[in-house]
Amino acid sequence: MSRLLDKTFWGLTAGLVFLFLLNFFLEEWMRTIGLQTLARGLVAIGLLVLWRTGMVSFGHALFFGFGAYTVAMMQIAGVNDIFVLLFCGTAVAGLLAVGLGFLLRQYRAIFFALLNMAFSMILYGVLAKVESLGSTDGIGISQVTFAGVKLEGETYRMGLFVVAIVFAYISALAAHWYLKSTLGMMTMAVRENEIRVEYLGYSAEKAIHAKYIISGLLAGMGGVIMAVTVGHVDPDSMVYWPVSGDFVFITILSGTGNVGATFIGALVYELLRTYAFEFAPEIWQLILGGALLLIIMFLPDGLWSIRSEWRNRRAIAKSRSSEDQAAEQGHD
C-alpha cells in the first residue's frame, strides 16, 4: 500500500528534527558544508526525477545559475528578504523550465543531454561577458533578512540553516510523494515504453515536460541557497559545464532509489570535495574523479544500494543458517 507516511517520510522528518537540534551545536564550517549539501542535493533530486524518466541532463547548472543570479539581480534591485529571494529564484528557474521544456521534451538520450548543456553554456557565455553582472568575476551577495528580521553573526548562519533545512525537507517530501502518484509513476512508464503510455491515454511528452519543470524548480531553489550561503555568484562556479557534471555525479553517487539518499550522496560529495581540496589541493579533482569511477564500476546503483545489498546478504545468511539448523534437526 502506498502510505504517505512511510519510511522515507519518517526518515526525512527525523532528519529535519535532528538537523534542527544539531544546528545549535554546529561549528561554522560544518554549517557551510551542510548548506552546500542541501543546495546541491536539491538539484540532484530534480535530476533523480529526470533519471527515472530515462533522461539525463548535462546542463542543469543553467537553472542553478539562474536561481543564483536572480538573487544577485534582486539584491541589486534592493530586495533582501530570504523568503522573497527563494520564491523568486525558484519561480524564475521554473518559468525557464516551462519555456524550454516545450522544446526539450521532444528530445531523448544524448540529444536531450547535449541540448541542455548547450543552453547552460549559452547562459555561461552571456554571464561571462556581461559587465553589470560582474562577468567572470561575479558579484557578491550581501546578507539577507528573514521576513523583515535582521540577524547577526552566528545567529544569522543558524537562521539560514533553519530556512534551508525546512525548504529542503518540504521539497524532498513533495518530490517523494510526487513519485508515488500516478504522474510520478509515469517516470518509469515513459522510460520503459512511451507507446504504451500514449495508448493508455496519456501524453509522454507532457509527462516529461512536467518532470523537467520540477527539476528546474528544484535546481533554482538550490541555486538561491548556494548563492546566499557562499555570499558570491560567478559563472565559473555556478554555470560552467563541470558544475552540471558534478550534479549528475551526485545523482549517480546517491543512487536513484530514494529521494532521501540524494542528500547523503550530496554530503559525501561535499565532504570529499572540501577535504580533498584542503589537504591536497592539487589532487582534489583526482579524488573526485576517482571516486566517481569507483562508483560507476563497482556500485552502479549508488550508495543507497549498499543498504539493500547488506539486507540481501543478511537475508541470505539468515536463510542459510535456518537451513543448517533444519538439516541438523533432520539428522537427529
Q: Give the binding site for another protein (CB under 8 A).
A: 1-2, 4, 56, 58, 103, 107, 109-111, 113-115, 117-119, 121-122, 124-126, 128-130, 177-178, 180-186, 188-189, 192-193, 195-203, 240-242, 245, 248-249, 252, 282-286, 288-290, 292-293, 296-297, 300
CB of 185 to another protein, least distance (A): 5
CA distance 269 to 258: 17
CB of 313 to another protein, least distance (A): 22
CA distance 313 to 13: 28
What type of residue is 77? A
> Residue-wise over 59-89: b if at least 16 C-beta within 10 A, else e?
bbbbbbbbbbbbbbbbbeeeebbbeebbebb
Q: Which is nearer to another protein, 60 or 157 (CB)?
A: 60
CA within 13 Å, CB half, 105:
20
- Cβ neighbours, 10 Å, residue 5: 8
The DSSP letter of residue 131 is G
CB of 128 to another protein, least distance (A): 6
CB of 296 to another protein, least distance (A): 5
The DSSP letter of residue 145 is B
Q: Which is nearer to another protein, 128 or 217 (CB)?
A: 128
Q: Which is nearer to another protein, 76 or 103 (CB)?
A: 103
Q: Which is nearer to another protein, 42 or 197 (CB)?
A: 197
Q: Which is nearer to another protein, 186 or 267 (CB)?
A: 186
Q: Which is nearer to another protein, 83 or 284 (CB)?
A: 284
Q: Which is nearer to another protein, 18 or 102 (CB)?
A: 102
CB of 317 to another protein, least distance (A): 24
For strands 232-233 and 139-140, give the pairing. antiparallel
Contacts of 156 (CB under 8 A, 6+ apart): 143
Q: Which is nearer to another protein, 25 or 199 (CB)?
A: 199
CB of 223 to another protein, least distance (A): 20
CA distance 113 to 119: 10
Sign of the torsion angle spanned by Cα atoms 167, 169, 175, 177? negative
CB of 285 to another protein, least distance (A): 4
What type of residue is 120? S
CB of 236 to another protein, least distance (A): 10
Cell 515536460 belongs to residue: 209
Contacts of 28 (CB under 8 A, 6+ apart): 154, 157
Element (H, E) at 218: helix 204-230
